[in-house]
Amino acid sequence: MQLYPKEITKKIDDIMNETFLKACRGEKTNYTPIWMMRQAGRYLPEYQKVRGNVTFLELCKSPELCVEVTLQPIDLLNMDAAILFSDILILMEAMGATLEFHEGVGPVFPKTFRDEESVDRLRVPDPDDTTPFVMETIRLLRKELKVPLIGFAGAPFTCATYLIEGGSSKVFWETKKMMFTSPELFHKLMDKITESTILYLQAQARAGAQALQIFDSWAGILAPCDFSVFALPYVQKIIKSLQQFDIPIIYFANNGATLLDLSVTSGADVIGLDWRINIGDAVKRVGKKAVQGNIDPFALLLPKDALRERIGRLLDDAKDAHGHIFNLGHGIHQFTPPEQARIAVDAVHELSGR
């Protein structure tokens, strides 16, 4: 579906900084592009000002406000890509799960999904009907941005853990209990989330997202043999369904160093890395795929010279990558001083451009 008339699309593309997209495709770039997971968020005073007037869910469902906070790190910090402001669990709400966000706790599902009846209640929604605010945010952002826009969704395994546990967890007892004692029910839940995610990401691509990232925040709790059965096949199915759009797909399995060889088989164009693996070692293992990462988010707290030195080492370690997008190994922490993020952005641009 053509979002804009061709002449408008061409005009937008002509003025866009495509360094991020080139790196995703493994093409030569003049410098290493950088963006940061959770870059539009609580560490920015400008975000806090917007957030002070609305709840988190109200913010996620207000396209004009989502556009404002998505643009903040681009305008303030000179990031090379924007990521849609939303939450991976918005889709779970659209599927029929009651979603709440509690201060100091995070996302909560008061009614869990641990039996056949509850799983049957979940629907596979039409994203244009149930999450129109997401698609409208994308369309509005494409009119404003001069850097590429990343859409996203949670990976089915990660989303399933929230539905089963009722929120975040440390040991994932209920999730693994279902996997090992009721595998048919677990796969049924995963099938539903997967079908919903396919429709959701396809809708984002039609609306104008120029890359898509799949966040598997809890993949690292799985042994490789279980990851290959209970998580990876669903990611592969999603990525295969997105090939028709010819846009880069990023797969990020948090705490996934032990899953790296399997993650490479996901079909993603870019493999996201956390900080628990040397990026040079990862580059050797992923082959002809781009990598994204992978500095420890807390390393942003280093003094300026030490931070620049660390960034320089990481860039050097990644020099043989088929393509490299500089990022954190996870989301930027809410207490990170914005100036430290700006030091990192400037250092990546300067040091990689030499």
Predicted confidence (pLDDT) per residue in 241-281, tens digit: 999 999 999 999 999 999 999 999 999 999 999 999 999 99
Q: Rounded mean pLDDT of the chain?
A: 95
134 neighbors 70 (Cβ within 8 angstroms): no
SS3 167: strand
Q: How confident is the model at residue 16 (pLDDT cuts 50, 70, 90)?
A: confident
The answer as to whether 74 is a domain residue is yes
Is 285 a residue of the active site? Answer: no
**Active-site residue (options: 4, 25, 31, 51):** 51
What would the mean pLDDT of 205-229 be, rounded to a whole number?
98
Cβ-Cβ contacts under 8 Å for 17 (sequence gap 6 or more): 80, 146, 147, 148
What digits encode the pLDDT tens for the residues 329-350? 999 999 999 999 999 999 999 9
The confidence score (pLDDT) of residue 185 equals 98
Q: Could you give the CA distance from residue 38 to residue 25 in angstroms, rounded to a whole number? A: 23
What would the mean pLDDT of 36-50 be, rounded to a whole number?
97
Total domain count, the chain: 1
Is 200 a residue of the active site? Answer: no
Instruction: Name the pTM for this structure.
Output: 0.94
Least confident span in 2-11, 163-172, 174-183 = 2-11
pLDDT at 173 over 50: yes
Is 47 a residue of the active site? Answer: no
pLDDT at 233 over 80: yes
The confidence score (pLDDT) of residue 48 equals 97
pLDDT at 15 over 80: no
What digits encode the pLDDT tens for the residues 19-39? 999 999 999 999 999 999 999
The answer as to whether 133 is a domain residue is yes
**Active-site residue (options: 25, 87, 313, 317):** 87
The answer as to whether 63 is a domain residue is yes
Q: Please give the share of the chain, as a percent, with pLDDT higher than 90.
A: 94
Is 42 a residue of the active site? Answer: yes
Amino acid at position 102, single letter? H
Is 87 a residue of the active site? Answer: yes
Q: Looking at residue 258, which CATH number applies to its domain?
A: 3.20.20.210
Q: How confident is the model at residue 1 (pLDDT cuts 50, 70, 90)?
A: very low
**Active-site residue (options: 43, 162, 200, 251):** 162
The answer as to whether 174 is a domain residue is yes
- Look at residues 242, 20, 56, 275 and name the one whose alpha carbon lies nearest to residue 150: 20
pLDDT at 2 over 70: no
The answer as to whether 101 is a domain residue is yes
Helices (H), 3-155: 6-14, 19-24, 45-51, 56-60, 63-77, 90-94, 116-121, 127-130, 132-144
Q: How confident is the model at residue 14 (pLDDT cuts 50, 70, 90)?
A: low
What range does the domain containing 199 cover?
6-352
**Active-site residue (options: 4, 25, 31, 42):** 42
What would the mean pLDDT of 202-223 be, rounded to a whole number?
98
The answer as to whether 1 is a domain residue is no
What digits encode the pLDDT tens for the residues 74-96? 999 999 999 999 999 999 999 99
What would the mean pLDDT of 301-321 be, rounded to a whole number?
98
pLDDT at 205 over 90: yes
- Integer angstrom CA distances of residue 171 from 106, 113, 292: 17, 17, 28
Q: How confident is the model at residue 13 (pLDDT cuts 50, 70, 90)?
A: very low
The answer as to whether 323 is a domain residue is yes
Spell 86-105 as b/e; 16+ CB within 10 A means b.
bbbbbbbbbbebebeeeeee
The confidence score (pLDDT) of residue 354 equals 77
